[in-house]
Structure 1
């Protein structure tokens, strides 16, 4: 199937290359920044870099909408697609209905709306094996759904049919598991840096923590530390150390209480 990529960020970058690796040629790559569109196009076989959203003459049958959630309406308001094209967004939080409403408002010809959401954190210039990435699929009709499932199964070992509500819940959970966890690691490094200690000293315990959590049926079953033991002496000692940094102090208190009160 011929595909065009709307958006040249990390998700569009990885998907564009993956599609072509599985014999789905990319016809066009759109970005407001022509340099970004050209950079991705150069990685592909014969893709055209575009800064306009007129795809009316495109040979693509599937258009992957991989833009920031806040930019989706603006892009859709200018988007011109061939009749009966498939338009699939890659957002974890935007619903299928959100996309359908936008296309009804701004597009004259019928478009088959869908969701093609890879549940993964993507980074620029970092190779990623998509076989291990879950893909969440939702579509306006069974035929479109099956097309997207078939493409996803070519790239990944894990493909799910999920409703917009289920995908929203997963996205919230992913923010806790991924984004918040990484932020806590960054805060941990700031603590060691402030005392001229090596953050590398913490990497073995971080690694072991993740290994145990991923093996456990419930990560709560392998929770350790002063909060779960209700070791008030150590907790108070930590709070005393953090008293001059109200932000870290508050985070420590909130997480300690959360651990102790988890059902």
Structure 2
């Protein structure tokens, strides 16, 4: 079932919220200014690296750096923009006010992570985007996936999400995990494969820009197609054995990349065979 789209373009701008921000890395570094631009008050920034927290706080007018986890300033919501592995230890380390709304921003971490802290009202505010230093994100176009342990927390997080994005959806933990896996294929794995392509061109003394038009058309075609599988091309799809053999020979000096080539070739051929059905067997 598709995640429910809960954005309402006609909905009035939500009241400003007080937000406590844990983290000062790639996500928090862009989320903090976005929260301020949406009219919210970031009441503090905390990070395991005080210098990083100070650098982010300096971009947010009037926002201090939190140094004592036992003395938490009041806030309407506390956002955990920290690595997945840091969420549970942070939940245990902070002296949370009773009934505090605490939300993590992770794709693969279930809502159940809050079960060990029953005094807090747990939630999720997952931004489906890649964040990199020096590259601004258009938050209005970032899908924000919300999940919460209770109706009041969900209402608050939905309002916060709507103030940032035009694409807000309710999404349960299991479906969010599937979405995160899909995002890794679409983003992280694609980036890695492009890195391999770039390195191969560099070895041959060829400019990376040669691939730019091909990459743009590949992505545009895949997004326009009913299914990217349906527009698959190339020697693997054609079962072009001589070309595949020549490619493997060219990759002989790169065993890891050859492994990627062979795995993707096998996956393409298996998918096309499955689509063709029993008659192709």
CA distance in 1 between counterparts of 2:61 and 2:70 reads 21
Match of 2:228? 219
User: In the alignment, does 2:169 pair up with 1:166?
Assistant: no
Secondary structure (helix, strand or coil) at the match of 1:183 reads helix
Output the aligned Cα RMSD.
1.2
- Structure 2, unaligned stretches of length 5 or more? 1-16, 275-281
CA distance in 1 between counterparts of 2:158 and 2:142 reads 14
The answer on whether the counterparts of 1:30 and 1:52 sit within 8 Å (CA) in structure 2 is no
Higher relative contact order (CA 8 A, sep 6+): 2
CA distance in 2 between counterparts of 1:54 and 1:47 reads 18
Match of 1:189? 198
Match of 1:176? 185
CA distance in 2 between counterparts of 1:114 and 1:8 reads 20
TM-score (norm 1): 0.94
CA shift for structure 1 position 55? 4.0
Match of 1:78? 93
Secondary structure (helix, strand or coil) at the match of 1:29 reads strand
CA distance in 2 between counterparts of 1:219 and 1:45 reads 45
TM-score (norm 2): 0.88
CA distance in 2 between counterparts of 1:164 and 1:187 reads 33
Q: For residues 126-153 of structure 1, what are the alpha-carbon distances to aligned partners after superposition, in whole Å with 9 as ceiling and x for unaligned? A: 2111111000100011111011111111
CA distance in 2 between counterparts of 1:261 and 1:255 reads 10
Secondary structure (helix, strand or coil) at the match of 2:65 reads strand
Match of 1:154? 163
CA shift for structure 1 position 92? 0.5
CA distance in 2 between counterparts of 1:52 and 1:67 reads 17
CA shift for structure 1 position 22? 1.2
Aligned length: 256
Match of 1:206? 215
CA distance in 1 between counterparts of 2:256 and 2:38 reads 47
User: In the alignment, does 2:245 pair up with 1:239?
Assistant: no
CA shift for structure 1 position 40? 0.8
User: In the alignment, does 2:264 pair up with 1:259?
Assistant: no
Q: What does 1:25-174 align with in structure 2 at a 5 Å threshold?
A: 25-56=41-72, 58-101=73-116, 103-104=117-118, 110-174=119-183
- Structure 1, unaligned stretches of length 5 or more? 105-109
Q: 1:55 to 1:148 in 2, by over 3 A?
A: farther
CA shift for structure 1 position 8? 0.7
CA distance in 2 between counterparts of 1:176 and 1:66 reads 22
CA distance in 1 between counterparts of 2:68 and 2:43 reads 14
CA distance in 1 between counterparts of 2:169 and 2:238 reads 39
Match of 1:107? none
Q: For residues 15-46 of structure 1, what are the alpha-carbon distances to aligned partners after superposition, in whole Å with 9 as ceiling and x for unaligned? A: 11111111110000001111111111111121
